[in-house]
Structure 1
Amino acid sequence: MADTTFLDRKDITHIVWDWNGTLLDDNHANLAAVNAVCAGFGRAPVEMEYWRSVFRRPLVPCYEELLGRSLEADEWEGVERLYDSSYLEHLHTCALTDGVPDVLHDWSGHGGTQSLLSMAGHDHLVPLVAERGLSEHFTRIDGRRFATERDSKAEHLVRHLDQQGIDPAGVVLIGDIDDDARAAHEAGANALLVATGLMARDRLEATGAPVVDSPVAAVDALRGR
C-alpha cells in the first residue's frame, strides 16, 4: 500500500484522473511516435527505458535533448506532425489500463466523484473517451484547450476545478508524470502517482508524492485498503 498518511482520506471526495499512461495503456503508441520523430530527424530509435528516463514537460526542451539540437518553430511543428501521425496509427491498439473501468465504478459506488483532465487536445480526447464508454463516469472531461508558457497541467487544473466549483483541498490528481504532482501542488490539491506511464518510478518518487503500481492500487490506497 502507498504511504498516503499525509492525506486525510476522509476529506478526499473527488479524483481528477489523467488519461494517457494512467487510464489508457498507450505507452507503446507513444514510443512508436517518438521513434517516428527520431527517424524524421535522423536520430537512432530509442527504447522505452530510455524514454521513461528523459521524458518531461515542457516538451520542446525534452525533444531538443532527444534530438541533440535546438528546434526552430517550424521544426517543432514538424515534430508534432510526425508524432501525431504515428500515434494515431497505433491508437486503435491501445487498451484501457488493467482494472479500468471497474476502478471508476468502485470510486463512484462509494460516493466519490471524479473527472478527467488531460494534456491531450480537447477535440481529440472527448470522442476517444466516449468511444471507450467512459464518459458517464466523469463530472467533467477536459483536454488541453489553451496553450501555456510553461506547458504544464497546473493552469489547466485550476480552470478544471474552478469550472466545477470544487475545493482543491478535497481533490486528488492521479497521474503518471511529475508534472501531475507539480500541478496538484500549485492548485492546492493532492497528488497520487501511478508507475504505469512514461516516467520511471524513481523520478516519480523524487516528487515526494506517493507512488503506486496502478489505478486500482491508487483507489485502494485512498480507501485505506
Structure 2
Amino acid sequence: MVAGAGLEQSHPVRLPHSTVIDVVCWDWNGTLLDDTEVAMAAMNAVLHDRGLPVLPHVDAYRKVFGFPIQALYARLGVSDVDFQLAAGRYLELFPVHVERAQLHPGADAALRAIGRLGAEQVLISATIAEVLQAQLAPHAIAGHFDQILGITDAYASKADVVANWLESSGHDPRRVLMVGDTNHDEEIAEKLAVHFIRFARGHQEPPDHDRHPVVHHLRDIIEHLSGSRVGREGETALRQGLPGMASSVSGTLAGGLDTTGYEIPIAH
C-alpha cells in the first residue's frame, strides 16, 4: 500500500458532546475488513484484460472509487456496452481472493470496547447475505453483532437494507451512529438523519468537507464516543478495552435515495 501523507491524524470534527448513542451500525468491506487491495487487484485484472491502464497503488484506487459503480467503470475506461461483462468478471475474481483480507488493525478491540460500553452493534453490508457470512467466518467477530444484514441479490440496495432495519428496530435515528468508508454510506446516513463517522482507510477517499468526523484508525471511534452518554457510562470499560485511548437530528428515509447502479458490481 502507498499511504497518503494525510493518513496519520483523524479529522478534528467531533460528535457533539450531548450525543447519546444506543446503536452503532457498521459497514463491512473497507471499514472493518481491509479488502481494498484485494478489490484493486481484481479491478486491475479486469482492466489489464481489456488493455486499459491499471491503478498503480491504493491511493489511486481510493481517489477514483465511487458510486454508482457503472460510473466508476466508465472513469476507468470500460464502456457502457462492456460494463456487465467487466462487472461479472470482477465478481468472479474478488471472492476468490478476499479470503486473504484481514480485519483493519484495532477492529476487534473497537468492537469489544463498544460492546462493553453497552451499545448495540449491527453489521449491514452491500454484500449478499450468504457471501457476507462466509467472509465473516474466519475473523470470529460475528458474536459482537446483534444483527448481521446483507443484500438479497446483487441488484439490491444497501440503502434499503439500512432504512428497513432502522424502521423495524424502533431506534431513534438521533441515537444511531453509522460507520462507513464511502460517500454512499455518508449519503445513506444523511438521508436517514443518523450520525456518521467516516473511516478514511477504506475504499474511497473522504470528501473535503466538515459535516462528519473522519478517523484513520478504528480505535479513534471510541474516542469520539467517549463524549457521548455511552462513553461516559462506560468510561471504565473504555480504559479496559482500549488502554491509553482516551448523537440531534430526526427523520427517516424520505423522498428516496437514488441507488441505481450503486450496489453492482462490487462487494461493499
Query: TM-score, normalised on structure 1?
Result: 0.88
Specify the code of the residue in structure 2 equivalent to 1:191.
F
Unaligned runs of 5+ in 2: 1-9, 228-245, 247-268
**Which of 210, 213, 220 is 1:210 aligned to?**
213
Which 4+ residue blocks in structure 1 deviate beyond 4 angstroms? none
Residue 178 (structure 1) aligns with? 183
Specify the code of the residue in structure 1 equivalent to 2:113.
D
Deviation per residue, 1:141-160 (Å, 9 max, x gap): 11122535xx6x43221012
- Whether 1:66 and 2:76 are equivalent positions in the alignment is yes
**Which of 88, 96, 102 is 2:103 aligned to?**
96
Other structure's SS at 1:98 match:
coil
| Equivalent-residue separation in structure 2 for 1:53 and 1:128 (angstroms) | 25
- Whether 1:25 and 2:28 are equivalent positions in the alignment is no
**Which of 126, 129, 133 is 1:122 aligned to?**
129
Q: Is 1:154–1:183's contact at 8 Å kept on the other side of the alignment? A: yes
Deviation per residue, 1:99-141 (Å, 9 max, x gap): 1211111001111111001112222102322332111111111
Q: How does 1:1-225 map to 2 (within 5 A)?
A: 2-6=12-16, 8-9=18-19, 11-47=20-56, 48-67=58-77, 69=79, 71-72=80-81, 75-145=82-152, 147=155, 153-201=158-206, 203=207, 205-206=208-209, 208-224=211-227, 225=246
Deviation at 1:208, TM superposition (A): 2.1
How many percent identity over aligned positions? 26
Other structure's SS at 2:14 match:
coil
Specify the code of the residue in structure 2 equivalent to 1:22.
T
Q: Is 2:99–2:135's contact at 8 Å kept on the other side of the alignment? A: no
**RMSD (CA atoms):** 1.9
Query: TM-score, normalised on structure 2?
Result: 0.74
Q: Is 1:194–1:218's contact at 8 Å kept on the other side of the alignment? A: no
| Equivalent-residue separation in structure 2 for 1:58 and 1:156 (angstroms) | 17
Unaligned runs of 5+ in 1: none
Q: Is 1:22–1:197's contact at 8 Å kept on the other side of the alignment? A: yes
Label 1:56 to 1:207 Cα distance change in 2 as closer, same or farther (>3 A): farther
User: Which is helix-richer, 1 or 2?
Assistant: 1
Number of residue pairs matched?
216
Other structure's SS at 1:28 match:
helix
| Equivalent-residue separation in structure 2 for 1:100 and 1:5 (angstroms) | 20
Is the radius of gyration larger for structure 1 or structure 2? 2
Specify the code of the residue in structure 1 equivalent to 2:66.
R
| Equivalent-residue separation in structure 1 for 2:90 and 2:17 (angstroms) | 38
